[in-house]
C-alpha cells in the first residue's frame, strides 16, 4: 500500500463516474478501501466496481437532493458498518455571463457545488465520529482564487468552499480532518465543457499547457495522489487547509 491507514476503511466518493472523482475512486480501490460510489448515471457507476462488488457498492442519484446524500451514508453503514472518509468531487459549471445566466442554472450550480457538500457533511459527520473519526477531502478549484470568464456561479461556489472547510475543521477536530484540493486545468470532461465558454476552445486547450510552469495539463491521477495523501494517516496533522494542485497556474 502506498498510503498508511487506508486499507479496510470505508469511503463515499461523489462525482465518481468521470474525471477526478473516477480517478480517486480507482486509486482508493487499489488501496483496498471499501467504497460507496455516487454519480448521476447508474450505468457509468456500475462500470467502476471493477469486479469487486463485495467492496464497492453503487448508488446512483441526484447529489442536489438531501435525502440522496443521507442514503449514501446509510448504505455505507449498512454494508460496511462504518464510514471513515468522504471525497466530494461532484461539480457543475453553469457557464454564462452573470447578466445572462438563468436563475435555474445559477441555482443548479450552487446546489451541486455547495449545497450538496453541506448535505453530505451534515449526514456523514455523525457517522464518521461514531466510526472513530476520519478524514474528508473536498475537490474545489483554482476558480476560488482566479476569475474565469463566464463562470460566475462556479467561481462563487468554489470560493465558498474555502471558508466552509476552515469552519468545519475548527468545529470537528481532532476526530475529523477536512481539507480542500484546488485543481487547475485537468484533462476531464468538465475541462472540455469549461473551455466552451471561450470563443476559441481548441486554441485555449492547446495554449494552456505551454503557459503552465509544469508545461502540461493535469491528470486525474495528479489530483488523486494528493487526495489520498490527505485522507491517509500520513497527513494526520493537516486540517482546514487548501492545496492548489495546479501545475503552477496560480504562480503565473
Q: 225-235, pLDDT tens digit by residue?
A: 999 999 999 99
CA distance 117 to 77: 19
Cβ atoms of 109 and 91 closer than 8 Å: no
pLDDT-based confidence at residue 54 (cuts at 50, 70, 90): confident
pLDDT digits (tens, 9 = 90+) for 115-171: 999 999 999 999 999 999 999 999 999 989 999 888 999 999 999 999 999 999 999
| pLDDT tens, residue by residue, 75-86 | 999 999 999 999
Angle between the N-to-C axes of helices 116-130 and 66-80, in degrees from 0 to 180, rounded to the nearest 10: 30
pLDDT attached to residue 44: 67
CA distance to 5, 54, 59, 168, 240, per residue, from 33 (Å): 10, 11, 17, 24, 23
Q: For residue 229, how far is the Cα from the chain centroid?
A: 14
Report residue 51's pLDDT band, with 50, 70 and 90 as the boundaries. Answer: low
Task: State yes or no: is 85 an active-site residue.
Answer: no
pLDDT reported for residue 45? 62
Contacts for 11 with CB less than 8 Å, ≥ 6 apart: 28, 33, 34, 35, 36, 83, 84, 85, 86, 87, 231
- Looking at mean pLDDT, say which of 68-72, 94-98, 208-212 comes out highest: 68-72
pLDDT at 197 exceeding the cut of 70: no
pLDDT greater than 70 at residue 49: no
Percent of the chain with pLDDT over 70: 93
pLDDT, tens only, 27-41: 999 999 999 999 887
Question: Catalytic pick from 68, 85, 154, 172?
Answer: 154
pLDDT at res. 47:
66
CATH 3.30.300.30 fits 10-187+219-245, yes or no: no
Query: Do 212 and 148 touch, CB atoms closer than 8 A?
Result: no
pLDDT-based confidence at residue 107 (cuts at 50, 70, 90):
very high
Extents of the domains making up the chain: 10-187+219-245
Amino acid at each position: 500500500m502506498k498510503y498508511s491507514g487506508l486499507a479496510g476503511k470505508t469511503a463515499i466518493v461523489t462525482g465518481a463516474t468521470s474525471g477526478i472523482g473516477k480517478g480517486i475512486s480507482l486509486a482508493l480501490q487499489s488501496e483496498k478501501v471499501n467504497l460507496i460510489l455516487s454519480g448521476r448515471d447508474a450505468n457509468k457507476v456500475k462500470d467502476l466496481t471493477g469486479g469487486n462488488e463485495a467492496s464497492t457498492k453503487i448508488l446512483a442519484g441526484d447529489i442536489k437532493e438531501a435525502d440522496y446524500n443521507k442514503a449514501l451514508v446509510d448504505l455505507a453503514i449498512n454494508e460496511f458498518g462504518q464510514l471513515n472518509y468522504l471525497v466530494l468531487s461532484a461539480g457543475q459549471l453553469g457557464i454564462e455571463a452573470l447578466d445572462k445566466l438563468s436563475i435555474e442554472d445559477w441555482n443548479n450550480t450552487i446546489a451541486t457545488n455547495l449545497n450538496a457538500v453541506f448535505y453530505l457533511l451534515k449526514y456523514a459527520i455523525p457517522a464518521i465520529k461514531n466510526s472513530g473519526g476520519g478524514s474528508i477531502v473536498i475537490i474545489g478549484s483554482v476558480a476560488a482564487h482566479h476569475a474565469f470568464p463566464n463562470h460566475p456561479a462556479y467561481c462563487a461556489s468554489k470560493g465558498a468552499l474555502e471558508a466552509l472547510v476552515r469552519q468545519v475543521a475548527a468545529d470537528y477536530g481532532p476526530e475529523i480532518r477536512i481539507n480542500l484540493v484546488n485543481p487547475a486545468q485537468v484533462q476531464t470532461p468538465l475541462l472540455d465543457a469549461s473551455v466552451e465558454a471561450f470563443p476559441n476552445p481548441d486554441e485555449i486547450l492547446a495554449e494552456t499547457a505551454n503557459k503552465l510552469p509544469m508545461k502540461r495539463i493535469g491528470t486525474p491521477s495528479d489530483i488523486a495522489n494528493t487526495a489520498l495523501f490527505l485522507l491517509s494517516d500520513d497527513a494526520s496533522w493537516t486540517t482546514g487547509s487548501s492545496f492548489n494542485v495546479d501545475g503552477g497556474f496560480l504562480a503565473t
